Every structure is written in structure tokens, then in C-alpha cells.
Amino acid sequence: MVDQIDGRGLGGGNSVEMAAIFAALSNPARIDILRHIACHNDCGCKDITDVLPLAQSTVSQHIKVLVEANILRTEAIHPRSRYVINEDVLKDLAEVTNTFLGSCCKETWC
Amino acid sequence: MVDQIDGRGLGGGNSVEMAAIFAALSNPARIDILRHIACHNDCGCKDITDVLPLAQSTVSQHIKVLVEANILRTEAIHPRSRYVINEDVLKDLAEVTNTFLGSCCKETWC
DNA sequence: TACATCCATCGTATAAATACGATGAATGTG
DNA sequence: CACATTCATCGTATTTATACGATGGATGTA
């Protein structure tokens, strides 16, 4: 238990935070939801439910996970909720992921 | 259920495969394990167990998940098992992640 | 040979994730 | 106003993940 590392910030994101984002992306339905939102403007829960083989409540729950992970933003327009991808977060995520994955064992983390 | 997308390949990786890799990275202990292996050559299960607040069996189980996701490779040298990061896989992953995250809604997937 | 070290696996307990239907709130439409 | 649409939430059932101790196999060392 010496030289413990369990979760402290290294090279742009601690383990717990990184794992949380990856966890939000760790479900195929959520990947599909992100893709659908990315490809279709003004997209609500119903639109996604029409396209995925899942119940509306399940889709809503997946969306909640993505919102809580700050990957999606809600814009409650009119009667419906519209979801927008938080591009800033995804850019950061792409960078952190790149740093983490690409530079395997540079002095960055050590 | 028209225009269904549930998991078919789009822009460099289908949803199920992508989710599987993210799932392998969705645990803080596994992030720490990857970091430790990346930073220390000739690294075995015991070395990681010494550094994380987890039982040896738990660490071994996490390693198994990473190996099955093809993120780690096992090199059974001498008495011990040594784990090596599969850099090719991580490079691909970084690229797919970048494509997926960075190019939110280019014609790539649509 | 006897013993220690390293590691994978098994069995198990507990917690978390996933999915569904039912329900109700909020907002449009006839 | 009555009704439909959209969505979030609740309760629940089932599956999966996480963690541990115990055990045994394989390999070094005395």
C-alpha cells in the first residue's frame, strides 16, 4: 500500500473521473443515442425511442445518464425536451483519452 | 422502429464494440492498473496489488477484463505473469474515440 | 525434498446497471 | 374544456459487476 495511486490526478484527469465518463459511454444504447442526437437536430426522447428497440422509459433513463455525465445538455423547448451534445466536454474527453491512450508511459503520469 | 441503428458499423466501430472497450475502461481500479503498467516495466499482478487497496484476486480479475478487451497482453515470463499494454489497440481506440467524440455529426455516421 | 512466491480460479455476498410497465405532470390541439 | 403528446419518475424484476477469502497449480529457492 505504499506509493498508492488510487485515483489522484495525473496528466489531465483522475481515475475516478475518467472512469465515470467511460462508464457513461459503456452502453451500446447510449452510443446509439449520442449518434442519433449528433445526426439529427432538434431531437427529443420520442425520436430516439422510435429508432431504438427500447421502451421510452429506458431511453429516458439512458439520456439521464448522459446528461449527468455532462455529455448531453437539455434544452427544454416548447412541449418537448431537446438534447444537445456538449461539444466542449467531448473535445476535452477526446484530448484526455488521447493523452491517456496514446502516450502510454510517458513521464506525464509518473 | 424504422431506420433502426442499433449497433451497426458507422464511421469506424459499431456501438457494441465501442461500448465494450469503454466498459473495460469504466472502472477506476482498471485505469490505475493501466497507468501502473504503463509506468513500470516488467509488472506483475503482485506489484499492482501492492499499490492498490484491493485484494490480489480482485486485481487479477480486473486484469482479466483488460486482457479480454485486448487492452493488455500477457507475457508469461519466468514464474510470474507480466502484462504489457497493447499499444496498437490503444492507438486505434484513441482514433475511434476522436472520430466519435470530436466530429459530432459530420456526415461520417449519417 | 520442503517451502515460499506468484497467480488464476472458484464460490459467494453485496451493490449497481438495465429494462419494463404504470403513472402523472406539463404542454399543445380539437 | 376534453384529449393527445411528450417526457420524467417510481416501483420492480433480472442480470451484471465488484470485491473478498480460500484454494490449488506452477515455478523458484533453501
pLDDT tens per residue, range A19-76: 999 999 999 999 999 989 988 877 899 999 999 999 999 999 999 999 999 999 998 7
For chain B positions 50-69, those within 8 Å of chain A (CB to CB) are: 50-53
Which pLDDT score, from 0 to 100, does residue A105 have? 44
CA–CA dist A66, B69 (Å, integer): 23
> What's residue B76's pLDDT?
74
Q: Any chain A CB within 8 A of the CB of B36?
A: yes
For residue A37, the chain B residue with the least C-alpha distance is B105
Structure confidence by residue, pLDDT tens digits, A64-91: 999 999 999 998 776 677 898 888 877 7
Helices A15-24, B15-24: axis angle to 10 degrees equals: 160
pLDDT band (50, 70, 90) for residue B42: confident
Domain spans, chain B: 15-92
Block residue for cell numbers 498508492 = A4
Residue A5's alpha-carbon distances to A12, A60, A66, B5, in angstroms, are 15, 36, 28, 40
C1' of D28 to CA of B78 (Å): 9
Judge whether residue A10 has pLDDT over 50. Answer: no
User: Could you tell me the maximum CA-CA distance found in chain B, to the nearest angstrom?
Assistant: 56
Residue B80 distance to chain A (closest CA, Å): 20
At residue A95, the pLDDT reads 78
Name the residue type at position B11: G
Instruction: Give the highest mean pLDDT range of A79-88, A91-100, B90-99.
Output: A79-88
In the prediction, which pLDDT does A102 show?
57
Does the pLDDT value for residue B75 go beyond 70? yes
The pLDDT score that the predictor gives to residue A88 is 81
Which residues have C-beta within 8 Å of that of residue B44, sequence separation ≥ 6? B80, B81, B82, B83
**pLDDT above 80 (res B70):** yes
CATH of range A15-102; options 1.10.260.40, 1.20.140.10, 1.10.10.10, 1.25.60.10? 1.10.10.10
- CATH assignment of B15-92? 1.10.10.10
Q: Which residues of A touch B109 (CB under 8 A)?
A: 35, 38-39
Please name which of A78, A57, A67 lies closest in space to residue A37, comparing C-alpha atoms: A67
**A71-103 b/e (C-beta count within 10 Å ≥ 16 → b):** bbeeeeeeeebbbebbeebbebbbebbbbbbee
Instruction: Provide, in whole angstroms, the distance separating residue B30's CA from nucleotide C2's C1'.
Output: 38
Kindly identify which residue of chain A lies nearest to residue B104, measuring between CA atoms.
A38
